[in-house]
């Protein structure tokens, strides 16, 4: 049996399956995905071989994880807890408070220490590494006999067509493990979405319901027509500039109402990435915001990744949240390859 086939994994906080899909592409057998959000069931199970369990991770027992592992000799627990409490997009006062979601990292830590898998991985936003709770998590792993490494990975370095930085941790019971630095060629917006059919604002492609863009008001349609790729709202005629941007407090937000650039990576995909006014989410040349499919592809999901059952209505808010919060598939593949190479190095 090859080393790739020997790693059985459980993906906690699995979302729509970005991490699972990437780990699977690397050769890891993801057997179970767990998430509290029922909207994650269809994409997780439709695109991956893993079973989906709708459950609160804080209420899981070690036996739930062990049952999924079965008789596997080499095991992996992955846990990407919700990042909102740590995110730089959160308000400072909220970041300083101990948020209820923070406890999910403690729940994950408790499960790891009870199950003692061969490998552990997690990813989150970079500010988490400065929080006491993360230091406690790392210390607990080391005390339990794990070798640990963590680093901030720039998505552009692993071929992600997006400016996205994530804190990645890997831990191994086998021996010292290291996250290698990589420097793949830059992948651009053009490389990723240029071949999709053009669509107008508020419309969907006839062959792909997810290739749909949000409607634009008459004012925002005028604004995007005056927007330059890589430019800002300062490029507009004065009568199109929003009152909030004319105040001193608004001058520090030049990237809202912006177009992407064809030959650069996209900005970080957020849960609001389908809205023209929510960031630099305007299409490089079409007069609309990027579609949900384009957002998913910029998150490195395959073009045919299914997010909703056939004929089900497209809900921008729900799908924007699921896509924006997803672990990019390429990041999952990078993590999986690190673990597989580590396993080979130790003779398994």
Give the active site residues: 83
Instruction: Tell me the C-alpha distance between 220 and 123, whole Å.
Output: 36
**What is each CA distance from 156 to 198, 294, 329, in whole angstroms?**
26, 17, 13
* Nearest residue to 164 via CA among 208, 124, 195: 124
**Alpha-carbon gap, residue 341 to 26, rounded angstroms:** 10
Question: CA geometry: angle at 150 spanning 147 and 156, to 5°?
Answer: 145
Instruction: Provide the 10 A C-beta neighbour count for residue 140.
Output: 16
Question: Quick one: how far is CA 70 from the chain centroid?
Answer: 28
Q: How many helices (DSSP H) and strands (DSSP E) are in the chain?
A: 13, 9
Question: Residue 27 corresponds to which tokens in the numbers above?
Answer: 């050769």
Residues 6+ apart with CB under 8 A from 33: 10, 11, 14, 17, 20, 40, 44, 48, 50, 51, 52, 53
Nearest to 60 by CA among 118, 98, 106: 106
Instruction: Collect all residues with Cβ–Cβ distance below 8 Å to 337 and sequence separation of at least 6.
Output: 26
The CA distance from 146 to 119, in Å, is: 8
Residues with Cβ within 8 Å of residue 142, at least 6 apart in sequence: 148
Angle at 101 between CA 100 and CA 105, to 5 degrees: 120
Question: Using an 8 Å Cβ cutoff, are 23 and 335 in contact?
Answer: yes
End-to-end CA distance of the chain: 10
């Amino acid at each position: 049996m090859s080393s790739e086939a020997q790693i059985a994994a459980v993906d906690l906080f699995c979302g729509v399956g970005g991490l699972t899909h990437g780990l699977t592409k690397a050769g890891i057998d993801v057997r179970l995905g767990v998430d509290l959000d029922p909207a994650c069931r269809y994409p997780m199970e439709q695109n991956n071989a893993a079973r989906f369990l709708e459950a609160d991770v804080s209420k899981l027992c070690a036996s739930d994880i062990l049952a999924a592992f079965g008789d596997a000799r080499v095991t992996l627990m992955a846990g990407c807890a919700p990042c909102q409490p740590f995110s730089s997009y959160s308000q400072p006062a909220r970041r300083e408070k101990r948020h209820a979601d923070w406890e999910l990292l403690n729940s994950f830590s408790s499960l790891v220490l009870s199950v003692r898998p061969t490998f552990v991985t997690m990813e989150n936003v970079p500010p988490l590494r400065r929080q006491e709770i993360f230091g406690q998590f790392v210390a607990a792993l080391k005390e339990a006999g794990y070798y640990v490494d963590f680093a901030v990975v720039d998505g552009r370095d692993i071929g992600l067509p997006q400016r996205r930085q994530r804190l990645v941790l890997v831990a191994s019971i086998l021996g010292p493990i290291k996250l290698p630095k990589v420097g793949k060629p830059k992948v651009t917006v053009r490389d990723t979405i240029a071949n999709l059919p053009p669509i107008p604002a508020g419309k969907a492609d006839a062959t792909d319901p997810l290739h749909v863009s949000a409607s634009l008001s008459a004012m925002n349609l005028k604004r995007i027509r005056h927007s330059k790729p890589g430019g800002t709202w300062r490029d507009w005629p004065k009568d199109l500039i929003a009152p909030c941007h004319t105040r001193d407090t608004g001058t520090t937000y030049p990237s809202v109402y912006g177009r992407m650039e064809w030959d650069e990576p996209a900005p970080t995909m957020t849960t609001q990435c389908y809205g023209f006014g929510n960031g630099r989410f305007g299409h490089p040349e079409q007069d609309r915001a990027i579609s949900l499919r384009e957002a998913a592809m910029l998150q490195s999901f395959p073009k045919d990744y299914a997010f909703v059952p056939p004929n089900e209505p497209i809900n921008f808010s729900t799908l924007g949240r699921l896509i924006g919060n997803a672990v990019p598939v390429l990041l999952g593949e990078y993590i999986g390859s690190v673990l597989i190479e580590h396993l080979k190095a130790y003779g398994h």
